[in-house]
Chains A and B, each alone.
Chain A
């Protein structure tokens, strides 16, 4: 059973702080990893994707991938109240690369 594990939270950080979100996955053969943000009642919105070990930065967001440890993380710098949402980790698990999602970590950024 291919699975993604995330701490459900809530993770609470003050405005301006760094939020750190973590995820582990079960499929050692997976090649592609994604972070989506989901506001309550809305659809998942792509934040970042990462294919290679190491760090990938995009604005305030940094994704980190360690395939040996089967671990992927998302750092959000200078957190804003508008970042308050559930963050979904996903990896390509099917033969056609269908995404398998974790349950998500709820982030709350306090002003």
Chain B
């Protein structure tokens, strides 16, 4: 069964450094998402991406965050200057249509640790 793949599985960085989290969504999916989950808390929406542009973003997704689909397969999340509170699991997800009609499929996540 096709799946969403994320790399790396674990990223450790120092505060103030830039990080790029990478995702390869399921190949025929059109909608792409980033979510995060701080340890012990709920899964929170960050951003959705469709037709090569951001379609919606949450309050969490401030100017420090950006997303890009640099080629036909990869979808990336960049955090420009990491803060301690950015430490979390970051999940990429994709769907064939928006979630009104099709469910999200999540990748295995990248655990980001900011020291």
Contacts and interface: CB of A to CB of B under 8 A. Distances in A.
Name A's interface SS.
Answer: loop
A36 B93 CA distance: 13
* Interface size bracket, A side: 20 to 34
Interface in A77-96: 88, 90, 92, 94-96
B106 A103 contact: no
A44 B56 CA distance: 21
Contacts, number: 64
B45 A43 contact: no
B100 A32 contact: yes
B100 A44 contact: no
B106 A94 contact: no
Given A32-B99, A104-B42, A99 B104 contact: yes
A46 B102 CA distance: 11
Nearest to B99: A97
Given A95-B56, A96-B56, A98-B48, A44 B43 contact: yes
Contact of A98 (B41, B45, B103, B109): B45
